[in-house]
Amino acid sequence: MEKGKILLIDDEPILLVTISDALAKAGYKVEVAENGQKGLAMFHGESFDMAIVDMVLPDISGIDILKEIKSLSPETMVVMITAYGTVEKAVEAMKLGAHDFITKPFSLDELVLKIQNISIFQCLKDENIYLRQQLEERYHFGSLIGKSHKMQEIYERIRIVADTDAAVLIQGKSGTGKELVANAIHYNSRRKNGPFIKVSCAALSETILESELFGHERGAFTGAIQRKQGRFELADQGTLFLDEIGDISPAVQVKLLRVLQEKEFERVGGSKTIHVDVRIISATKYDIQTVKTERLREDLYYRLNTIKIQLPSLCERKEDIPLLAKYFLHEFKMKTSKNILGFTEGALDLLEQYEWPGNVRELRNVVERAVAFCRTEKIQIADLPKDIREICLKKKKYLDRRVETLDEVLKAAEKEHLSKILKEAQGRKSKAAELLGISRKTLWEKIKEHQIAESATP
C-alpha cells in the first residue's frame, strides 16, 4: 500500500538511488531530481505529500527551494538534508517552515524512521482538520458557534432569511453576535459577491451619520473639501448593515425611510438622484417593544422589521460555553508559542457558572487573557480574572447554603407571633390566649414548645 508521494532533490547520484530505494521498500512513491531547477519544475507539475531537499545544491540553495515549495503548497512537509557545517542553516530552514532536518552522515534506517514519523504526524493533522471541519459544519454557521437548541434555531432562520431579499432586524444584547449574524445572512445570500458595508449608528452624530449614509458634495458643509460617496452607494448590489438602528435621529430616519421606499436619494448638498439596489439588515440592543414605541418612527420600524431574529444571551445557552471557550483558546494559542491543551475541569466549571453580562464578547476577552497568563498545559482557575472567580465563589456559597424546610419557617413565624402577642399582653397569659383565640392550656404548650422566656403572670 502506497503511503505517500515524496520528491527527493539531491545532487549526489548515490544518495538519490539509495534513499529512493529505501523509501520505496517502506511503501512510498519517490520521484527524484538531481538539481534544484528540475526539482522545482517537477513540483510545479505534480502534487507531493513530502519533499526531501539537500541544503547545498549546485544551482539553487535548499533555502530558496523550501521557500518556493511552501509558497506553492504550505501543507507539504519538507525535510532538509544538511552537513555538520550547515546546521545553522537548517535551523533557519525550520523557522521558514521546514518540518525537520537530518544531518549527514545518516543511516537509511534513521531517515526512513523520520519519514514514517512525519507521515503519522501528517495523517493525524489531516484527521484533525477533517474532524474540525465536521464540527464546524455541525456547530458553526460562518463565525457563529453553538450546538444549543437556541443556536440551531438561529442557524435555520439564517438559512431561510438568506434566500430572500427582505429587510431583517436583529435584536440582542451587546456581545451576542449581531454583526456575525448579519455577515452570515449576507454571505449565504445571492448578494454574497457584492459588498457588505457596516455603519455604527450609535457612534456618529446626526450630521456625520447623514453624510456617512448618503455621502456629500464638495462644499456641502464646513470641511467637505471633496465629494464623498455614502455607505448606500458603496453597498450597491450588496448589503448595508445598520448597527444600533435605534440610536438614529428623527431627521435621518425620514431620509432613511425614503431610501427604503423609493431606493433612491441625493447626497448631502447635491441635487442628483442616485438609485441603489441594497439589502438592509439592522440591529439593536433595545428590546423590540422599546424600538417600536420609543426609538423609531412606526412606518420605518415596519420597513426594517420584515423579519426579526432575536439572539439569546450567553447565559441562556450555557451548554455552548465549553465549545466557545475551546474555539477561542485555539484562536489565541495559535498566535503564541504556547502549547495549551485545554481547560482544567474546575476552570471550565467556573466559566459555566458565570452569568456573562458581556456575553460572547466578554468570554472571548477572558479566554484571551487566560492564554496570556497560563504557564501550564491547561488553563487553571487561577488564570481566570479575580472578579469572575469571586462572583462564582459567592454564588456557590449561596447555592450550597442550607435551605430551611417549610415546617421550620412556620415554626419560626409562630414563635415570633407568640412573643409579640405576649409582649402586647404584658405577660398576662389569659389576655394573650384571648387575643390568639386559643385556650390558656394550648398557649402554655406553645410557650413550652418554642422555649419562649416567661414574662410576669397575672
Q: Report the chain's mean pLDDT, rounded to a whole number.
A: 87
Same domain? For 200 and 296 the reply is yes
Give pLDDT tens digits for 196-215. 999 999 888 888 999 999 99
pLDDT at 266 over 70: yes
What are the strands, taking DSSP E only, across 351-405? 378-379
Q: Give the CATH number for residue 281.
A: 3.40.50.300
Same domain? For 166 and 204 the reply is yes
pLDDT at 361 over 70: yes
- The DSSP bridge partners found for residue 228 are 216
pLDDT at 38: 94
Same domain? For 151 and 170 the reply is yes
455 found inside a domain? no
21 found inside a domain? yes
How many of the other CB atoms lie within 10 Å of CB of 7? 24
- Contact between 121 and 113 under an 8 Å Cβ cutoff? The reply is no
Cis check: omega of the bond before 105, within 30 degrees of 0:
yes
Distance CA 349, CA 302 (A): 43
Distance CA 205, CA 174 (A): 20
223 found inside a domain? yes
174 found inside a domain? yes
- Contact between 146 and 317 under an 8 Å Cβ cutoff? The reply is yes
pLDDT at 20 over 80: yes
Distance CA 104, CA 170 (A): 63
Distance CA 126, CA 330 (A): 17
- Name the pairing type of β-strands 29-33 and 100-103: unpaired
140 found inside a domain? no
Domain boundary among 312, 341, 361: 312
454 found inside a domain? no
Give pLDDT tens digits for 277-302. 999 999 999 988 888 888 899 999 99
Mean pLDDT of 51-63: 92
Distance CA 69, CA 422 (A): 95
Domain boundary among 312, 328, 343: 312
Q: Which residue has the higher pLDDT, 6 or 398?
A: 6
- Contact between 207 and 259 under an 8 Å Cβ cutoff? The reply is no
Alpha helices per DSSP H over 163-274: 178-187, 206-214, 231-234, 250-262
pLDDT at 132 over 60: no
Domain count, the chain: 4
Which residue do the cell numbers 433595545 mark? Answer: 286
Q: Give the CATH number for residue 434.
A: 1.10.10
Same domain? For 412 and 441 the reply is yes
Q: Which residue has the higher pLDDT, 305 or 398?
A: 305
Q: What percent of the chain has pLDDT over 90?
A: 53
Mean pLDDT of 125-137: 54
Same domain? For 241 and 333 the reply is no
Same domain? For 337 and 262 the reply is no
Same domain? For 287 and 372 the reply is no
Same domain? For 250 and 279 the reply is yes
Domain ranges, residue 192: 145-312
Nearest Cα neighbor of 340 from 297, 320, 301, 369 is 369
pLDDT at 41: 93
The band of 334, judged by pLDDT with boundaries at 50, 70 and 90, is: confident
In Å, what is the CA distance from 421 to each residue of 198, 225, 435, 438?
A: 70, 85, 7, 12
How many of the other CB atoms lie within 10 Å of CB of 362? 18
- Name the pairing type of β-strands 196-200 and 168-171: unpaired
- Contact between 56 and 86 under an 8 Å Cβ cutoff? The reply is yes
Same domain? For 288 and 413 the reply is no
Domain boundary among 87, 106, 132: 132
282 found inside a domain? yes
Same domain? For 308 and 325 the reply is no
pLDDT at 457: 43
52 found inside a domain? yes
pLDDT at 335: 84
Dihedral (CA of 446, 448, 452, 456) sign:
positive
Q: What is the CA radius of gyration of the chain?
A: 36
Same domain? For 34 and 126 the reply is yes
Angle (nearest 5°) at CA 222 between 217 and 225: 50
Same domain? For 280 and 179 the reply is yes
Dihedral (CA of 228, 231, 236, 238) sign:
positive
Q: Give the CATH number for residue 82.
A: 3.40.50.2300
Would the pTM of this model clear 0.85, i.e. be above it? no
Mean pLDDT of 94-120: 87
